[in-house]
Copies of this chain bind each other. A is one copy, B any other.
Amino acid sequence: MIVILKENPAEEQLNDLTQWLKSLNIEIYKSEGLHKVILGLIGDTTVVDVDLIKALDIVEDVRLIQEPYKSANRKFHPMDSIIQVGDVKIGDGSLQIIAGPCSIETEAQICSIAQSVKESGARILRGGAFKPRTSPYSFQGLRNDGIKLLLKAKKASGLPVVTEIMDLSQLELFEDVDFIQVGARNMQNFELLKELGRSQKPILLKRGLASTFREWLMSVEYIMAGGNPNVVLCERGIRTFENYTRNTLDLSAVPVIKKLSHLPIIVDPSHATGRSELIVPMALAAVAAGADGLMIEVHNDPPHALCDGPQSLLPSTFDKLMKKIQKIRVALQD
């Protein structure tokens, strides 16, 4: 960490600062330039509250050298982490496919899609029970009943299941859910993250629409700092000026997160683009970029789906995609 001081810093405050830092086992190197004095802080600076230093009136700015997240940082944990969801391993070099409908609608619907995506090679079933919708007048999901139907499909298909939690108060309903999704809008719902950190359930943390890689990893840190090491990240598009696509899928997230962290990262091409004709090319691209998995919306009747039909694939299209993905995997591994 580099602390840039204002011109002519008050001697006393500078002493206070250096005493405090030394008490945290931080070594300090001071360099005086023509216009600025800078302090180089050496040691475990993740324990230093950057905002506190910035708040001092002798300080002009603070620049981070070491990333401020610790548990998620590959530097302190060089080996890839493998996260287990039911009997499925994510991050062990395999490519795991999560598939299912945007919204759970009926028992017949979720069970039939579960069977179908399983046959095509999906290993985890997804389905929305609690649905975050921009408008209060849009369908909000079957909620508690949706969870029950999802668990029936879990039993019938044998697939572990993932579904989104929207509020702490829903947590007890997730006891038999294998993998808890935190959506983009809740990526910085810190109270929720803290509570999930107290469990050992695998958490699928989607990237916020306006969140940097660093902020995303700091949100992971909220979960891991609580004692839960089981986190998988999911890139699902960021908000930009381009509005032909719903969001802009940032596939560089895959190699970047793999460099900065030891945790697995998967990609959701369905929500990112909001256009069904873009799902297949973006899914193939995500695989080529090195993703540990994909999350894809599949509906047996996209035009009549209760939400987000335009971003779903038919089971037959999904099946063809799975075959293409397999070929790319083989090509990449040679």
Contact = CB atoms under 8 A, between A and B. Distances in A.
Contact of A334 (B43, B168, B309, B327): B327
Contact of A252 (B29, B241, B273, B303): B273
A322 B281 CA distance: 20
Contacts of A75: 35
Interface string A210-221: 101111001001
A132 interface: yes
6 shortest A-B CB distances, which residue pairs? Answer: A55-B309, A210-B210, A33-B42, A288-B288, A29-B31, A327-B331
Interface stretch (A104-112, A133-141, A148-156): A133-141
As for how many copies of this chain the complex holds, the number is 4
A66 B35 contact: yes
Contact of A241 (B133, B241, B288): B241
Given A210-B239, A210-B241, A214-B244, A277 B255 contact: yes
B65 A137 contact: no
Given A29-B31, A46-B137, A309-B55, A259 B240 contact: no
Given A47-B137, A240-B248, A255-B282, 10 more contacts: A29-B31, A51-B309, A238-B241, A238-B248, A252-B273, A252-B282, A288-B288, A324-B331, A324-B332, A331-B331
